[in-house]
Amino acid sequence: MPVSVSTVMLRVVYALIPGLIAYIWFFGWGVVVNILFAVAIALGCEAAMLAIRDRPLKPFLTDGSALVTAVLLAISIPPLSPWWITLIGTAFAIIVAKQLYGGLGYNTFNPAMVGYVLLLISFPVEMTSWQAPLMLITQHSLGFLDALRIIFGGGLPDGLRLDALTTATPLDTLKTQIKLDHNVDDIISTAPIFGHFGGKGGEWISAGFLLGGLWLLYKRVINWHIPTAMIGALLGMALIFFIIDPAHYPSPLFHLFSGATLLGAFFIATDPVTAPASTRGRLLYGALIGVLVYVIRTWGGYPDAVAFAVLLMNLATPTIDYYIHSRVFGHGENRKD
């Protein structure tokens, strides 16, 4: 049976659940607070913009697209970021990146990623102060009220210091340490932030997103082309450099389970509104995102690059659509395949 837009969007949110459970497990209540707050702001902004633009409220508020944007953005920002970070990012994503471009279906850029990049560039300190996984915060337990207090400006709970609460992410650590001419193996085995094959906790969150992504594929909410091409290209790049110099370039597996690779491959790059229409176009789009992620991670100024890579390729989507069409039935060579 055919599905509606809201079903498509809700399925995307459902598919995020396994990854979210892992995320909450490892990083605590801040994640939940961020998501709920972002959703409220997103729906509020969406309603206000729809009213200003004289569009019907009900069909567009219930289509689930603002919900998806809010959840994706909330996942991307550090779990204990101050409330105004979430507010600015979400409001900018919905008002500017989505509604000012014409609303659902008309935005050129992925709204969640626009919001994220705006925050990353404007507030680098807040956006890089990642909370450490809970098991690395030994001084103090971090309950729901603690999370609320930290996020909404109540300061840190007694006995918890900021430097104990936050830490550099695995990708960040690796980048800095490699620049100091340390060996990849040594870095990973000494810094506590690393897990079995990615970041501590992060690898399981990524695995959760992978699981959800596979479910989306099974439900045909997304096509295999973009995730496969993106992951394939990233792994390919990583493998080449890993083989050449394993001391300075981490393994493909590390790249796969670190940062936003799997979240990006299944939930962000696959946003159909901002991706090319044809199958071959999507393969190219996904592959170039994969290459860009590796290039920026390895040689660029930022530790992770999924948001930049996706936005850059959003920019290229009209051009890809202009040049790459599908082979229409009965056109071109007559193949028996």
Q: Give the position of tokens 């600015």.
A: 88
Piece of 16-24, 93-101, 238-246, 274-282 that binds other proteins (CB under 8 A): 274-282
Q: What whole-number distance in Å separates Cα of residue 5 and Cα of residue 12?
A: 11
Instruction: Supply φ then ψ for residue 117, to 5 degrees.
Output: -70, -35
Give the start-end residues of each E strand in the chain.
130-131, 166-167
Q: Give the position of tokens 């090319």.
A: 276
143 binds other proteins (CB under 8 A): no
54 binds other proteins (CB under 8 A): no
277 binds other proteins (CB under 8 A): yes
Piece of 44-52, 96-104, 237-245, 285-293 that binds other proteins (CB under 8 A): 96-104
100 binds other proteins (CB under 8 A): no
Q: What whole-number distance in Å separates Cα of residue 279 and Cα of residue 225?
A: 7
Among 236, 272, 298, 316, binds other proteins (CB under 8 A): 272
129 binds other proteins (CB under 8 A): no
108 binds other proteins (CB under 8 A): no
Q: Which string of x and - marks every residue 278-297 that binds other proteins (by CB under 8 A)?
A: xx------------------
Q: What whole-number distance in Å separates Cα of residue 30 and Cα of residue 57?
A: 30
Closest to 253 in 3D by CA, of 179, 306, 183, 184 = 184
Sites for other proteins among residues 155-174 (CB under 8 A): none
**Closest separation between CB of residue 57 and other proteins, Å?**
12
**Closest separation between CB of residue 220 and other proteins, Å?**
8
What would the DSSP string read from start to end of 49-109?
HHHHTT--HHHHHSSSHHHHHHHHHHHHS-TT--HHHHHHHHHIIIIIIIGGGTSTTT-SS
Q: How many CB atoms lie within 10 A of CB 82?
A: 15
Among 46, 63, 146, 203, binds other proteins (CB under 8 A): 63
Among 125, 138, 158, 334, binds other proteins (CB under 8 A): 334
Question: Tokens representing 8?
Answer: 């498509």
Number of residues this chain uses to bind other proteins (CB under 8 A): 36
Query: What residues make contact with other proteins under the rule CB under 8 A?
Result: 2-5, 7-8, 56, 59-60, 63, 65, 102-106, 220, 223, 272-273, 275, 277-279, 321, 325-331, 334-337
